[in-house]
Amino acid sequence: MRSVLVYLIGLKLIALLTLSSVAWAQASSSGSSDKLQASKDMGEVATSKEADLKTARLHFSNGVALLQETPPNYQDAWQQFRLALTKSGDSWKVRGNLGYCALKLERDGEALQQYRLYLKEGGDEIDPKERADIERELLLLEGNMSWVTITSSSPEVELGVTRSGSSSPPQAYALSGGEAKLGLRAGSFTITATAGDQTLLWEPLLTPGKQTTHHFDFNAAATNSDAQAQAAAQNGAEPQGQGRPAHGPSTLQVIGYASLGVGVLAAGTGIVTGVMAKSKEKQAKENCVDGTCPESDLSKKKSAQGLATATNILFITGGVLAATGITLVIVGKPPKSKEVAQRTLELSPGVEWGGGSLFLSGTY
């Protein structure tokens, strides 16, 4: 029914606009010689009106073509019908299609307004069946609509309205006289208000028949933002929503933990080789007399020396890796205040026969 209605309205409008332009042309050519100046003025007005009507026909034709697309482009068609309405001098024959597009875009308050004006101004010229169909749509609109009045501390505000689960694209609205009264389909909404580089958010749940108001206070938002930034600066913390995540180790800390683990493993291996070196040394000295050992035990002595050397290397390597890991863990931790204590770390290795030692000291 609606596709047929689009064509009917298009034909009606074209006929109306054509007749209107002819009427203006006739009016401009009439008049007596004693009213020559007045007829010239009327001619200029007629020319201007004729140009507007021609533009209106083009916009209306564009709107109909957009509705014929697959899928129909209701957003752009709505804008074309708005322009056609303005250029046609608010012709009632445009309002039907404008209301239809507004309905599809869930701009229910506008759809209600345009449909009512269409039925009122069209009068008996509207087909009875078409009138009955529109009246049924109006009952659905009114029964599921919620009215929202939005005000703002800033006069230049752009509103963005999105209903959760809707297939319609987000809709833009502007404030008029410091407020906007929106007729919205019931549901869960995300409404944003943007003024300059500031954007405020409101997420209401609107129920049928509900009337509610909301005020976007950009002055209070700016004051709160400045206060938070000042408090963050005084506490040495980063502003909310910025900086590193609040939980989890940093990349340096992850590397530090890994290095510390490898260092501990190397030190543990050094302990094992140290015990083996002591055992080999004891075996090599069993047959020695006054420090003189038989040649058959020299291999055991060399084995003990090799294990001792390996033990020292493992202890030193493990100590360096462990110290590096501890340093990275400490340095990688984000500071909690602006004043961070000076962190120092000193490593002092010690070497002895059959083993080694590592002394770690510092301030944190």
pLDDT for position 257: 81
Tokens 């708005």 -> residue: 82
Structure tokens at 152: 């703002």
Q: Of 113, 133, 155, 157, nearest to 8 (Cα)? A: 133
User: For residues 294 and 320, which has the higher predicted lDDT (pLDDT)?
Assistant: 320
Confidence check: pLDDT of 32 > 50? no
> What's the predicted TM-score (pTM) here?
0.55
User: Binning pLDDT at 50, 70 and 90, where does residue 62 land?
Assistant: very high
Q: What is the pLDDT of residues 317-332, one digit of tens each?
A: 877 887 887 887 787 7
Average per-residue pLDDT in the chain?
78
Answer yes or no: CATH 3.40.50.720 is held by domain 144-219: no
Domain boundaries of the chain, sorted by first residue? 1-143, 144-219, 251-363
The per-residue pLDDT for 297 is 62
**1-143 domain in CATH 1.10.287?**
no
Is-contact 259 324, C-beta < 8 A?
yes
pLDDT range class, residue 75, cuts 50, 70, 90: very high
The 10s digit of each residue's pLDDT in 226-249 is 666 666 666 655 554 444 444 567
